[in-house]
């Protein structure tokens, strides 16, 4: 049986100690009315794994999601967004500048980032 979270005096759970680079998983739970109002948690986020990129105070954590763990639909959306960013970049670069860029720079990859409440994270 899972342990009950340790609560602070204000009734909120004590956030897990996180550091940049930690591998984490987004908890699976029901979406609440508050989640809908704040756009902080959605069904498609449940179970995704990634690494902590930035920590903003006690509650907000930027997580770089591992693209391999995304659903097919999310992968397709991510791939399309990446293609559009590359096309937009190519439209802003002159022919001379383009010749100076490496193949890796021209075919850059993008990250799938989510801003997550620290209480919705667990160590992976």
Calpha distance 85→57 (Å, rounded): 30
Hey, where are the domains in the chain? 23-123
- Higher-pLDDT residue of 87, 13: 87
Mean pLDDT for the stretch of residues 66-84? 96
**57-68 pLDDT, tens digit each:** 888 999 999 999
**34-58 pLDDT, tens digit each:** 999 988 899 999 999 999 999 998 8
Calpha distance 121→118 (Å, rounded): 5
């Amino acid at each position: 049986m899972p342990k009950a979270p340790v609560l602070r005096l204000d009734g909120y759970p004590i956030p897990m100690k996180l550091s940049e680079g930690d591998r984490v998983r987004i908890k699976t739970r029901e979406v609440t009315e508050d989640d809908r109002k704040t756009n902080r948690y959605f069904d498609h986020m449940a179970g995704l794994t990634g690494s902590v990129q930035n920590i903003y105070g006690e509650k907000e954590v930027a997580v770089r999601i591992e693209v391999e763990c995304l659903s097919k639909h999310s992968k397709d959306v991510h791939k399309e967004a990446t293609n559009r960013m590359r096309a937009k970049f190519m439209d802003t670069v002159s022919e001379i500048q383009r010749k100076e860029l490496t193949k890796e720079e021209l075919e850059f990859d993008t990250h799938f980032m989510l801003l997550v409440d620290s209480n919705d994270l667990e160590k992976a």
